[in-house]
Amino acid sequence: MSKPSDYSLTDQAVQECPYDFYAAMRREAPVYQMPETGFYIVSRYGDLQAVLKDTKTFSNAAQPAQQRQLQREKSAVQVMYEEEGWVPTPSLQRTDPPLHSRYRQPIDKTFTASRVRDMTPYIDGIVTDLIDDLVVLGQDGQQVDFVQHFAIPLPCRVIADQFGVPRADVPKLKLWSDALMDSFGMMMDAKREREIATQILEAQKYFAAAFEERYDKPRNDMLSDLIRTPEGAKPLTMNELLDMMMQLLTGGNDTTTGSLAEGLLLMIRNPDQVQLLRDQPGRMKNFVEEVLRVESPVQGLLRVTTRDVELGGTLIPADSVVIVRYASANRDEAKFDDAEKLDVCRKNAGAHLAFGAGIHFCPGAMLARQELNSAFTQILDRLDDIQLAVPDASLSHHPSMLHRRLVSLPITFIAK
């Protein structure tokens, strides 16, 4: 039986298929210290809940000692931001209460349940257009890359419209989003780090200009929502606004892209579950939850301990980096029966932690769910005999310690 020490999360092969590693941690070392980095990985569902609820001990805002040292030394990238753009200011993901509320409130007003419900026909329309394009591209059995022609453009078009920027700029948004995701993934070399910084500077200048336009002429879009200051509140600075935009850009498209691709792959791999969906369309919402549980697009995120703390029988010293491994918790056998299996009839599928929990629960969760629901519903209605056009074993994911994104998904199908 394998042990956690048999694996390394910095290994691309383990990132490609991490689930044996997760199972080994849950079984033998539920709070496992990575020998390569010193980080502590939390792998069980109950322990993750404890971490996510205790923001005083497991902080989003605190920085480990090594990061503080790097900041004192001022990397070349930081100098680039200081001289040419705006130094990123911690906002949504990297703050704790009460400061976190300052950034969360304007976002929560944007992604209300009623607003997402009102957006459903609009989202359905984008899905229809994209499937129309797929049908043309895939006629006569031609293979189509589902990632490039559907999974990327759907959330990118939605987020561009919500930002109030032209759809013609979607390729730029995707380029910048990929740069940000690579920076978060902790697998970049020095050359890629500089390239990423250059691209993020471009994004900063683009959105700074857009915010300046909204100050003069507000619109009915997310950028205008962010600069509206509630009575008695302090306006967000440009540094804060731009940091929020970078997080919304990745959260608004990349994670949904990942779930769309993984969801279709799960359909291809599980024809019995697809038949259940065709026979019982009312189970589609549960299928969406299972996709998010089984193939969580955010595999894990970081916290830093503010004190010595014991978790899962392991003492974690203060100032330690902790990885809350959502994707492992979502396959925890203690929480989900037959947890490795996709089951559209699962009664507690919605109990997954793919969107986090507590104060840092993903504000765009409802929008992402609706995009997935609209997409998979129309895919089943309009496409049949969906098959992989390449060997399953040839599929690959982008290198990342924290996220899961298929590079491509070539398929064939028959249009109904």
Strands of 410-415's sheet in order across = 144-145, 410-415, 383-388
- What pLDDT, on a 0 to 100 scale, did the predictor assign at position 295? 98
User: What does the alpha-carbon distance between residue 237 and residue 407 come to, in Å, rounded to a whole number?
Assistant: 36
pTM of the model: 0.94
15-24, 94-103, 250-259, 272-281: least confident range: 94-103
73-77, 261-265, 343-347: least confident range: 73-77
Q: How far is CA 198 from the centre of its chain?
A: 22
Distances (CA, A) of 63 to 59, 243, 247, 308: 9, 17, 18, 15
- What pLDDT, on a 0 to 100 scale, did the predictor assign at position 283? 97
- Give the pLDDT mean for 257-261: 97
| Cβ atoms of residues 385 and 413 within 8 Å | yes
Q: For residue 204, count CB atoms less than 10 angstroms from its CB and return exposed for 0-12, middle for 13-18, buried for 19 or more.
A: buried
Q: Residue 179 above 90 pLDDT? A: no
CB atoms near residue 296 (< 10 Å): 26
With pLDDT > 70 as the criterion, what percentage of the chain qualifies?
Answer: 96
- What pLDDT, on a 0 to 100 scale, did the predictor assign at position 113? 82
Q: How confident is the model at residue 79 (pLDDT cuts 50, 70, 90)?
A: confident
Q: Which CATH architecture has domain 4-415?
A: Orthogonal Bundle (1.10)
- What pLDDT, on a 0 to 100 scale, did the predictor assign at position 88? 77
Q: Residue 70 above 60 pLDDT? A: no
36-50, 111-125, 139-153, 275-289: least confident range: 111-125
**Bridge partners of 415?**
383
Q: Residue 396 above 90 pLDDT? A: yes
User: What does the alpha-carbon distance between residue 177 and residue 246 come to, in Å, rounded to a whole number?
Assistant: 8
Structure tokens that stand for 229 in this block: 């200051």
Q: Residue 68 above 70 pLDDT? A: no
Q: Residue 69 above 60 pLDDT? A: no
Q: How many CA atoms lie within 13 A of 216 on its CB side?
A: 5
- Give the pLDDT mean for 204-220: 95
Distances (CA, A) of 163 to 42, 229, 249: 35, 18, 9
Q: Residue 111 above 90 pLDDT? A: no
- What pLDDT, on a 0 to 100 scale, did the predictor assign at position 267? 98
Beta-strand pair 321-324/40-42: parallel
- What pLDDT, on a 0 to 100 scale, did the predictor assign at position 313? 93
How is the chain split into domains, by residue range? 4-415
